[in-house]
Structure 1
Amino acid sequence: MTDYFADIPSISFEGPDSDNPLAFRVYDAERQVLGKPMREQLRMAVCLWHNFAWGGHDIFGDPAFERPWLTGRWDADSNRLRLDAAFDFITRLGAPYFCFHDLDVMETPESLRDHERKLADAEAIIAGKMEDTGLGLLWGTANLFGHRRFMAGAATNPDPDIFAYAAAQVKFALETTHRLGGENYVLWGGREGYDSLLNTDMRRELDQFGRFLALVAEHKHRIGFKGLLLIEPKPQEPTKHQYDYDVSTVAGFLRRYGLEQEYAVNIEVNHATLAGHSFEHEVASAYANDVFGSIDINRGDPQNGWDTDQYPNNAADLATAMTIIMEQGGFTSGGFNFDTKLRRQSIDAEDMFHAHIGGMDTLARALLIAEKVIEDRQLAAFREQRYAGWSEDKGRAILSGDLSLADLAEEALAANHDPRPVSGRQEYLENLVNRQVG
């Protein structure tokens, strides 16, 4: 049993006047917000990969973190230490959920058969820890991007044997997630794309990807998994172009392959900005396309054009997206997963707590801003008024198909229409939201 976090007490809510850096100033788990406790509205999760499987290395530097479980190879002893530390940390922090990739929680496998056996061993350990701590599994997934066999993709690989290997890995991970009571299962196509069109048959790869996702959905129903299947959009990095570029791309892909009833999206903030969108745009797109599922809550650095996975620290930036989510009724099986990592210079055990405390307080503050905006009703009332004409006889007739193009032209000519533009009042609405930020 590791005692790596032994000197750090359980994190509690102490309120806005607290100067204790190891306490929540805003996140009060049981505080009622829009009809539910904060913990149920936010459904926050800690990821195991960045926190417990990443050593603080980057493309220019060696691992920077010294943790007792980071031994350079995942054997039985180091893996046990890793899982001990992970559940100790999450329990002290007070987050209700965790998320994992298969390779985050198991010994290094020597073969596919060995992979299945070692994942089953890890599952037994995790099940015991979940029972002891009461922690829930927000989602599980399989790492289909790290090993060199996946350098040309998994589902989109030109080699059917690699497609089959990936299918087996997902089968194991999905079944593990199911047995552990996971509420969702995520597929991140980290290398499902291309680096050069000179060696790529795009139509073939898209068809392969569609078939792979159909196989996963079929197996979900076969084993009785009731959670959501989620796809995580990302435009590029590590590939030049990834097929799940953004929410709208994923929604169109799902409709093309008849999978729109089987999958939703897991939106990552940093991926949204890499695609040239705002986070709130991707959230609104998911609702508009009926594919909203869950959130990876991180941020990028505006001076870096890559995926920096930093902790959220600006509630005002998140307020609009949070308002959209809460106006739509909040999460069902999804939640806010901290797919985030420390900076390489943040090497102490305490730094992991400071990062998550700050992120959780930021989300709580954004939730409180959203509550004020929603209860104020001015924003919603403005939108309702702006589109009011579409709820009247003419608007309904247009949308129902009762009026043809010729009918509309004839009506406009007969009435000699000269409609005047109406202000969208963007600045006024921005002020409505900003008044709730203080």
Structure 2
Amino acid sequence: MPNHYFVGDHEYFPGIGNIPYEGRESDNPLAFKFYQRDRLVGGKTMQQHLRFAVCYWHTFCAKGSDAFGTDSQTFPWDTPKNPMMAARARMDAAFEFFTKLGVPYYCFHDRDMAPEGAFVAESERNLATMAAFAKERQDETGMKLLWGTANVFGHPRYMNGAATNPDFAVVTHAAAQVKAALDATVLLGGENYVFWGGREGYSTLLNTDTRRELDHMAHFLELARDYGRSIGFKGHFLIEPKPMEPSKHQYDFDAQTVIGFLRHYGLAGDFKLNVEANHATLAGHSFSHELQMCTDAGLLGSIDANRGDPQNGWDTDQFPTDIYDAVHAMLVVLADGGLKSGGFNFDARVRRESVDLDDIFIGHIGGMDTFARALDVAYRIRENSDLGERKLRRYSSFDSGDGARFEQGEMNLASLRDLAASEHKPVRASGKQEWYENVINQYL
């Protein structure tokens, strides 16, 4: 990547150069303590393992507003009054940030990159224009697109959903947006395409035909898949589970709900899941649980790396700093052979009170260091401890004899009963949970 990339003479982050690695003893907030892009871990570099991405929306569009207050942050790229000029400035700032931070990927919603027009064709032209500029920036910097998506939840027309909306006219508008976003994703070489069902759910059964809405959502996804394939998209389509906010009952509540939906409608061959840590905890699960459910199903696609606050009941999208949680996640990812075409996208934002531009760098540096350290710890646990062997031994009764016959489907319920009555006496074996947890602490 080039050093200090910016367009023309304008630099949006003056005084900040490419972020260096300085090691854990460094007290420089603008330096990595653990993330070394080219350091080998198990035959792959950290960059190849983690495939970090910066998101367009929180990083360059969110300015500290929440349900209780308006924007608290001001960005220099928002100065132009013309919406398309502002979009150009935002893109210039974004690619300057990407290259200085040293990530290989970025992600975007259509409305992050280009403003909505007064009518469908104008919106399409705006996005096509900005996607062409993004292609130039990618060619100049070597940046790549991890995934694209469409914001079919923010506009008032989507107050009752997009693909699940009871008004067919709204469904057509959602289709127009997804079509244009797929066009942009293919132009930019996106490796995945994400569906985030921000309002695909309902508030009351009194006015909702859930069976019809789910059928519509499945058919919409089929049409999007078919169009994507027809224009040369060869990557994965990803669905991102979320249990709440804004709909009371989300159709994509958690990983197992989405997996069941994909299998029920025959979509699992083309679709995988994009798992977000904060959504996992809002669903009452751990981050690693959601990842494990996806890997068990062979449907883990990509990861949105962030965290929530257990004292808040909403999606706070904070930068990940919990090493213990990240180690558990990396153990699952490594056991699955890595993320393949997915990556760790920082779907995170600085706090409302963090109003300096360097805070954006500091948040990303901390998140990258968290997962770099977690990668190292998880790899050493897998290589040097007997945690994996102990887990296998816990199920050893299914590895031979009648247990193996049961797993292979060679026994019926009556034969199991006869074994219980004749010879099989259960052994009360310890789960050794404390030992397993102590192993994690030992390697931290």
Q: Same fold (TM over 0.5)?
A: yes
Residues 71, 196 of structure 1: CA spacing in aligned structure 2 closer, same or farther, 3 A cutoff?
farther
* Aligned residue number for residue 3 of structure 2: none
Contact kept in structure 1, 2:84 and 2:126, CA below 8 Å: no
**Superposition pairs of residues 203-222 of structure 1, within 5 angstroms:** 203-222=211-230
* Aligned residue number for residue 301 of structure 1: 309
Contact kept in structure 2, 1:43 and 1:336, CA below 8 Å: yes
Q: Distance in 2 between matches of 1:380 and 1:374?
A: 7
Where does structure 1 lack aligned partners over 5 or more consecutive residues? none
The 3-state SS of whatever aligns with 1:270 is: helix
Contact kept in structure 1, 2:78 and 2:89, CA below 8 Å: no
* Aligned residue number for residue 423 of structure 1: 430
Structure 1 residue 3, shift from structure 2 partner: 1.9
Single out whichever of 244-253 and 107-116 deviates more from structure 2: 107-116
Q: Distance in 1 between matches of 2:354 and 2:300?
A: 34
* Aligned residue number for residue 188 of structure 1: 196
Q: Distance in 2 between matches of 1:281 and 1:74?
A: 46
Task: Give yes or no for the alignment of 1:96 onto 2:104.
Answer: yes
Structure 1 residue 74, shift from structure 2 partner: 6.0
The 3-state SS of whatever aligns with 1:69 is: helix
Q: Distance in 2 between matches of 1:151 and 1:414?
A: 62
Q: Distance in 2 between matches of 1:102 and 1:414?
A: 65
Task: Give yes or no for the alignment of 1:249 onto 2:257.
Answer: yes
Give TM-score scaled by structure 1 length. Answer: 0.97
* Aligned residue number for residue 378 of structure 2: 370
Q: Distance in 1 between matches of 2:107 and 2:386?
A: 37
Task: Give yes or no for the alignment of 1:163 onto 2:171.
Answer: yes
Task: Give yes or no for the alignment of 1:311 onto 2:308.
Answer: no
* Aligned residue number for residue 235 of structure 1: 243
Structure 1 residue 399, shift from structure 2 partner: 2.0
* Aligned residue number for residue 33 of structure 1: 41
Residues 318, 353 of structure 1: CA spacing in aligned structure 2 closer, same or farther, 3 A cutoff?
same
Q: Distance in 2 between matches of 1:368 and 1:24?
A: 15
Q: Distance in 2 between matches of 1:317 and 1:99?
A: 24
Task: Give yes or no for the alignment of 1:131 onto 2:135.
Answer: no
Structure 1 residue 108, shift from structure 2 partner: 3.2
**Superposition pairs of residues 407-422 of structure 1, within 5 angstroms:** 407-415=415-423, 417-422=424-429
Structure 1 residue 38, shift from structure 2 partner: 0.1
After superposition, give the CA deviation of every residue in 1:203-250 in whole Å (9 maximum; x if it has no partner): 111111111111112122222211110000001101111100000000
After superposition, give the CA deviation of every residue in 1:96-117 in whole Å (9 maximum; x if it has no partner): 1100000001133111111111
Q: Distance in 2 between matches of 1:236 and 1:286?
A: 20
**Superposition pairs of residues 14-163 of structure 1, within 5 angstroms:** 14-71=22-79, 75-163=83-171
Q: Distance in 1 between matches of 2:439 and 2:318?
A: 28
After superposition, give the CA deviation of every residue in 1:396-416 in whole Å (9 maximum; x if it has no partner): 21122221111222233233x
The 3-state SS of whatever aligns with 2:77 is: coil
Contact kept in structure 2, 1:283 and 1:321, CA below 8 Å: yes
Runs of 4+ in 1 over 4 A off after TM superposition: 71-74
Q: Which amino acid aligns with 2:17?
A: P
Task: Give yes or no for the alignment of 1:403 onto 2:427.
Answer: no
Contact kept in structure 2, 1:74 and 1:108, CA below 8 Å: no
Q: Which amino acid aligns with 1:190?
A: G
Task: Give yes or no for the alignment of 1:177 onto 2:185.
Answer: yes
Contact kept in structure 2, 1:74 and 1:106, CA below 8 Å: no
Q: Which amino acid aligns with 2:282?
A: L
* Aligned residue number for residue 231 of structure 2: 223
Structure 1 residue 145, shift from structure 2 partner: 0.3
The 3-state SS of whatever aligns with 2:21 is: coil
Q: Distance in 2 between matches of 1:58 and 1:139?
A: 26
Residues 430, 339 of structure 1: CA spacing in aligned structure 2 closer, same or farther, 3 A cutoff?
same
State how many pairs are aligned: 436
Q: Distance in 2 between matches of 1:414 and 1:351?
A: 68
Q: Which amino acid aligns with 1:248?
A: Q
Q: Distance in 1 between matches of 2:442 and 2:170?
A: 54
Contact kept in structure 2, 1:47 and 1:98, CA below 8 Å: yes
The 3-state SS of whatever aligns with 2:78 is: coil
Structure 1 residue 73, shift from structure 2 partner: 6.1
Q: Which amino acid aligns with 1:88?
A: E
- Output the aligned Cα RMSD: 1.3
Single out whichever of 12-21 and 325-334 deviates more from structure 2: 12-21
Contact kept in structure 1, 2:12 and 2:96, CA below 8 Å: no
Contact kept in structure 2, 1:70 and 1:78, CA below 8 Å: yes
Q: Distance in 2 between matches of 1:74 and 1:282?
A: 43
1:432 equivalent among 427, 431, 439: 439
Where does structure 2 lack aligned partners over 5 or more consecutive residues? 1-6
Give TM-score scaled by structure 2 length. Answer: 0.96
Report percent identity of matched pairs.
51
Q: Distance in 2 between matches of 1:374 and 1:72?
A: 52
